[in-house]
Amino acid sequence: MEITDFLTQNFLSSFTGTLVAVELIVFTTKDFPLIKKIPTKLYTFILAVAHLVIVKTTTGSIEMSVECYYRLFINALVVVLILCGGYDTIMEKFKSIKDITGNLISEANDNEKNKSNTSNEEQKQIEDKNEANK
């Protein structure tokens, strides 16, 4: 391997190569005036589709079938999900669900404590009345 062959055809046709190539293109071109107006997720999706089509065409593995285009579409969505913070978005959703359920549980525990405190106070009042009547 020569030192100038960082990105080979085999690497670019792999999943990691696709992520690197698309992220590199998005990172270097996103500040262009015309491209700046396009939402990043849409721009990343367009580049992912273009990259996958180019790789499939150059390797000679592109087929004119619904299955091929469907897989290409799904693969492009996976690339967008990973590159545009999909993991962070999903984890944030799980965290918010956990926070909501945690808050509900703590509120339920607080309500139970308040009920038990109220019943203890009522019981003390009844005991005090009974002692006063004796």
pLDDT digits (tens, 9 = 90+) for 12-48: 889 999 999 999 999 899 889 999 899 888 999 999 9
Closest residue by Cα to residue 12 from 53, 43, 46:
53
Name the token pair of 124: 């003390």
**Cβ neighbours for 84, distance < 8 A, ≥ 6 positions apart:** 40, 41, 44
Structure-token match 């509120």, residue found: 107
Judge whether residue 128 has pLDDT over 80: no
**How far, in whole angstroms, is CA 60 from its chain's centroid?**
33
Mean pLDDT along residues 115-127 = 66
pLDDT digits (tens, 9 = 90+) for 53-84: 999 888 887 788 899 889 999 999 999 999 88
